[in-house]
């Protein structure tokens, strides 16, 4: 018999643009009588060690104009975070978590022994990755009583890896896949717990589509969590015959994307 409420811990990454959309929906609809969120921990963005390395990666992808637009958004958010009380503005993941009474911390290395041992002490049922930027090693994966699970906004196994929404639009798919799966040693390769398609409906703006899929991803994760409570989880072996791995797109892919009529921002 499943013990309730289930104790879950979330690991994500620093992202002021899209992950707040996910967590706003997630916490707004999470049944608090069925789940205890022991914390939300944040890893470095795209696992980049420095801000300079991150800026270079983003500049190569977005180009000068969109990079400045993105930087302006970031500056506004940092200003709001600095000047506006959390009761009036909760636009970042830490503020959203705190508004719902959930502790939020920064974790440079999720596989560090001290961090893994701290999680063991939380008596977790589920460990949840929401766009976490680091690979979970076996010791970390073994922490929860039930499963470590991941929400991936890409159809698996073809769109394993980074920036799956971009690559699905790049390949001119009519919809974006969302997959919730149990985590394994290989990236995006565990047993599938839920998969669904979100129609694009002609949308050509990557920024808007990512926001849409983050919102739908929150609902998908909530559905899977509910199945754990009800002992109704169905695990499907991933067919890896059509497997692919996508890395972070660069300048050439971004140029080709725009030539197809798509927009990045």
Query: What DSSP character marks residue 45?
Result: G
Is the pLDDT reported for residue 259 higher than 80?
yes
pLDDT score of 188? 62
Residue 108: closest CA among 133, 131, 130:
133
Query: Is the CA virtual torsion 115, 103, 120, 154 positive or negative?
Result: negative
pTM: 0.93
Residue 195 included in any domain: yes
DSSP class of residue 46 equals G
Contacts of 15 by beta carbon, 8 Å cutoff, 6+ apart? 45, 93, 131
Run of H or E residues at 9: strand 6-13
| Per-residue pLDDT, 53 | 85
Beta carbons of 228 and 124 less than 8 angstroms apart:
no
1 in a structural domain: no
Mean of pLDDT values over 178-202: 88
Q: Count the helices and strands in the chain (H runs, E runs).
A: 8, 9
Judge whether 264 lies within some domain: no
Q: Is residue 115 part of a domain?
A: yes
Residue 107 is given by DSSP the state -
Bridge-based pairing of strands 175-182 and 35-43 is unpaired
Give the burial string for 2-20 (b: 16+ CB within 10 Å, else e).
eeeebbbbbbbbbbbbbbb
Does residue 245 form part of some domain?
yes
- Mean pLDDT taken over the chain: 92
Q: Which of 37, 48, 54 is nearest to 122 (CA)?
A: 37
Q: Is residue 64 part of a domain?
A: yes
Which CATH number belongs to the domain containing residue 73 in this structure? 3.40.50.170
Task: Answer whether residue 265 is part of any domain.
Answer: no
Which stretches of the chain are DSSP H helices?
A: 19-29, 51-83, 93-99, 113-120, 138-141, 164-170, 206-229, 251-259
- pLDDT surpasses 90 at 198: yes
pLDDT of residue 43: 94
Q: pLDDT band at residue 1, thresholds of 50, 70 and 90?
A: low
The answer, yes or no, to whether residue 128 has pLDDT greater than 90, is yes
Assign 191 to helix, strand or coil.
Answer: coil
**Domain containing residue 29:** 6-259
Tell me if 159 sits within 8 A of 187, measured CB to CB: no
List, for residues 228-238, the tens digit of each pLDDT value. 999 999 999 88
Q: Using one digit for the tens of pLDDT, what is the confidence trace for 64-120?
A: 999 999 999 999 988 888 888 877 788 899 999 999 999 999 999 999 999 999 999
182: pLDDT confidence band, cut at 50, 70 and 90? very high
Domain total in the chain? 1
The Cβ of residue 239 has, within 10 Å, a number of other Cβ atoms equal to 10
Q: Is residue 74 part of a domain?
A: yes
């Amino acid at each position: 018999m499943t013990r309730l409420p289930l104790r879950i811990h979330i690991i994500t990454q620093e992202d002021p643009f899209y992950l707040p959309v996910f967590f706003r929906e997630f916490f707004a609809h999470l049944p608090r009588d069925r789940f205890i969120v022991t914390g939300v921990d944040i890893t470095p963005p795209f696992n980049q060690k420095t801000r300079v390395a991150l800026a270079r990666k983003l500049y190569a992808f977005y180009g000068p104009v969109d990079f400045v637009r993105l930087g302006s958004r970031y500056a506004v958010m940092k200003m709001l975070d600095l000047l506006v009380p959390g009761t009036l503005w909760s636009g970042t993941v830490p503020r959203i978590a705190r508004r719902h009474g959930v502790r939020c911390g920064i974790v440079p290395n999720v596989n560090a022994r001290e961090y893994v041992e701290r999680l063991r002490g939380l008596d977790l049922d589920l460990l949840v990755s929401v766009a976490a930027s680091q690979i979970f090693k076996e010791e970390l994966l073994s922490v929860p009583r039930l499963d470590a699970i991941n929400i991936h906004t890409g159809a698996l196994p073809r769109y394993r890896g980074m920036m799956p929404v971009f690559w699905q639009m790049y390949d001119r798919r009519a919809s974006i896949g969302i997959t919730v799966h149990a985590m394994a040693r290989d990236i995006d390769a565990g047993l599938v717990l839920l998969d669904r398609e979100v129609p694009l409906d002609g949308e050509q703006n990557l920024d808007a589509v990512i926001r849409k899929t983050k919102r739908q991803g929150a609902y998908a994760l909530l559905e899977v969590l509910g199945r754990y409570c009800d002992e109704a989880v169905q695990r499907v072996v991933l067919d890896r015959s059509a497997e692919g791995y996508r890395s972070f797109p660069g300048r050439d892919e971004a140029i080709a994307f725009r030539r197809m009529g798509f927009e990045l921002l």
